[in-house]
């Protein structure tokens, strides 16, 4: 499967941003870091038809067969290191909103999953370079299942049988790129509190029960540091826990608990 860059560029809201297209790479995130090291100007965008060492969250491998979208965007921004989770939050929200505008009822699973019909449609892996507690550069990597073979509990857009308006991998790429910039500009203009209000509206797990150290809690939202807010209720007391990304695994229907 070859990817036609012109078909993506004509659909971009900011068409002057250069797009680097590859057939096979290790990881598009690594490719963007390399392009930045060579002096390419921001933003840098790379897409590959397949990856041999795709990077997933928590050190996992991202299976990247031909037919999926493998995209990374390098941005230079100045935010404090403790706000690193904002990168995933604004990207996930912007991409999900754009996919929803094209008829796919995508929801979010905290912190970085795009879900469709309760199954994993895609994920985001952001990486940062930090100098003196400030993030100076970041790479936002996105994998979305178009027609590739997916491991369970995955879903592809092409297997979704209801009406939508995404007709090619190139259109999906353009929607996704526009989505990252939509989220980024919304975050810069309106701040994290407003972004989170929107993010939580399409967060699948709000109201869900979780068991934490033997106690039942209810997911109530996400904090400005990207932590999952869980309300614990015991007779006579109510506490809200804030769980950093990576400490709680919200499964796909198999139950959940502290990882």
Residues of this chain that interact with ligand BTN (CB under 6 A) are 27-29, 51, 54-57, 60, 62, 70-72, 112-113, 123-125, 141-143
C-beta of 113 vs 256, nearer to ligand BTN? 113
Closest distance between ligand BTN and the C-beta of residue 129, in Å?
A: 16
Closest distance between ligand BTN and the C-beta of residue 58, in Å?
A: 7
C-beta of 28 vs 205, nearer to ligand BTN? 28
Closest distance between ligand BTN and the C-beta of residue 51, in Å?
A: 6
Closest distance between ligand BTN and the C-beta of residue 82, in Å?
A: 21
For the chain, what is the HEC assignment? CCCCHHHHHCCCCCCCCCEEEEEEECCHHHHHHHHHHCCCCCCEEEEEEEECCCECHHHCECCCCCCCEEEEEEEEEEEEHHHCHHHHHHHHHHHHHHHHHCCCCCEEECCCEEEECCEEEEEEEEEEEEECCEEEEEEEEEEECCCCCCCCCECCCCCCCCCCCCCCHHHHHHHHHHHHHHHHHHHHHHHHHHHHHHHHHCECCCCCEEEECCEEEEEEEECCCCCEEEEEEECCEEEEEEECCCCEECCCCCCCEEC
C-beta of 70 vs 187, nearer to ligand BTN? 70
C-beta of 125 vs 241, nearer to ligand BTN? 125
Closest distance between ligand BTN and the C-beta of residue 68, in Å?
A: 8
């Amino acid at each position: 499967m070859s990817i036609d860059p012109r078909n993506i560029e004509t659909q971009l809201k900011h068409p002057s941003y250069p797009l680097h297209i590859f057939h096979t790479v290790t990881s598009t995130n690594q490719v963007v870091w390399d392009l930045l090291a060579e002096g390419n100007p921001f933003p840098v965008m790379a897409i590959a038809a397949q990856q041999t060492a795709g990077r997933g969250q928590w050190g996992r491998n991202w299976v990247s067969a031909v037919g999926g979208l493998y995209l990374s965007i390098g941005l230079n921004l100045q935010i404090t290191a403790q706000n690193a989770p904002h990168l995933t939050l604004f990207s996930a929200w912007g991409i999900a909103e754009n996919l929803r505008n094209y008829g796919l009822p995508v929801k979010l699973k905290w912190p970085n999953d795009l879900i469709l019909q309760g199954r994993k449609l895609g994920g985001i892996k952001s990486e940062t370079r930090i100098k003196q507690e400030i993030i100076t550069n970041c790479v936002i990597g996105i994998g979305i299942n178009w027609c590739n073979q997916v491991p369970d509990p995955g879903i592809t857009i092409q297997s979704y049988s209801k009406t939508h308006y995404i007709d090619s991998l190139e259109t999906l790429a353009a929607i996704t790129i526009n989505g990252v910039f939509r989220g980024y500009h919304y975050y810069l203009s309106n701040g994290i509190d407003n972004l989170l209000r929107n993010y939580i509206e399409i967060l699948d797990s709000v109201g869900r029960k979780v068991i934490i150290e033997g106690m039942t809690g209810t997911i109530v939202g996400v904090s400005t540091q990207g932590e999952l807010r869980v309300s614990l209720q015991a007779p006579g007391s109510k506490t809200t826990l804030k769980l950093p990304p990576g400490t709680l695994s919200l499964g796909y229907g198999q139950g959940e608990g502290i990882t």
